[in-house]
Structure 1
């Protein structure tokens, strides 16, 4: 066991490792989206599938910069889905995102225009990839259940950021769920999504 392994005992999983886990499910899901589904509505009311994919592209690219403590620009989101190789491009950029958050020092200090703790910012991109993968799965008639370790790594951060996220319009109002709801269903409900809407 190395010294680094020793210091990581009891520490939360690294953002890079969690991103690698969720990307292993998200990139095949994205690759499987047919062109005919791009206009389908998603659980994100303002986005159809195409717009949500372009949003995710922007997230994946800009959070690479944030991992390196560089400025990010979310003001312009090009239509990446118009490119013929957009599925390959998404997988490549997601790989770069994992590399960026796996780099030494990525989780240390602060980053972003609001000067948030880097770990919090890393949790934001992890959350985006996780819940938007679920959104895309819902929109295209498929299922998505992330690694429980990823969900556990998000629960505390999501609860912490929820009040501010609701003020900023990023989260909707929390959805009430029955007592048998899973941890992931409760995570989705905290963001304003109803994971059991199809069952209603």
Structure 2
């Protein structure tokens, strides 16, 4: 399945979560210990915008995260998430290497998919919302998490894997592999 199709499925699952976050929830804690809901929203918006640049084989600035929670940030997220899908649907976006990361474009696209999927769950969990991920996205992310897991843990992007029951569903297993405790 093309990365743009996977991103579109994840976008459709993430948008209602973002749309239903209220301003009074922005200071709430998230499963990402260093992030409040507002911080994580800002991070996710930055990822969605920056990975558009990487799809176009341009450099993306990850040195700072500008404050994007001004104005109608819910509409901004919806617009930028659609642009992310379009960027990865462009001819050649999923070929070769992508931006300054020097990684295969398909890996970079799946990194965006991981952020969009897992952080949507983080935000839903922090704000008391239900979240059902796109099942195709979950399937596509297992290989990435296995491949990038050790490096992501070294960089404190993932926590230590969490044990889950044998009958845990695939998404719970994916969350656990990133150091989250699925509830």
Normalising by the smaller structure, the TM-score range is over 0.9
Aligned CA-pair RMSD? 0.8
| CA-to-aligned-CA distance 1:71-91 (integer Å, 9 cap, x gap) | 00011212111x121111111
Q: How far did 1:164 drift?
A: 1.1
Task: Summarize the alignment of residues 125-136 of structure 1 with structure 2, pairs less than 5 Å apart.
Answer: 125-136=112-123
Q: How far did 1:25 drift?
A: 1.4
Q: Is the counterpart of residue 49 in structure 1 residue 37 in structure 2?
A: yes
1:151 to 132, 138, 143: 138
Task: Summarize the alignment of residues 50-69 of structure 1 with structure 2, pairs less than 5 Å apart.
Answer: 50-69=38-57
Q: How far did 1:139 drift?
A: 0.4
Q: How far did 1:153 drift?
A: 1.1
Instruction: Please say which structure displays the higher CA radius of gyration.
Output: 1
Could you tell me the TM-score, scaled by structure 1's length? 0.89
Question: How far apart in 1 are the matches of 2:85 and 2:124?
Answer: 22
2:150 to 153, 157, 163: 163
Q: Is the counterpart of residue 23 in structure 1 residue 23 in structure 2?
A: no
Q: How far did 1:105 drift?
A: 0.6
Which residue is equivalent to 2:80? 93
Which residue is equivalent to 1:195? 182
Unmatched runs of 5 consecutive residues or more in structure 1: 1-12
Could you tell me the TM-score, scaled by structure 2's length? 0.98
Question: How far apart in 2 are the matches of 1:70 and 1:113?
Answer: 8
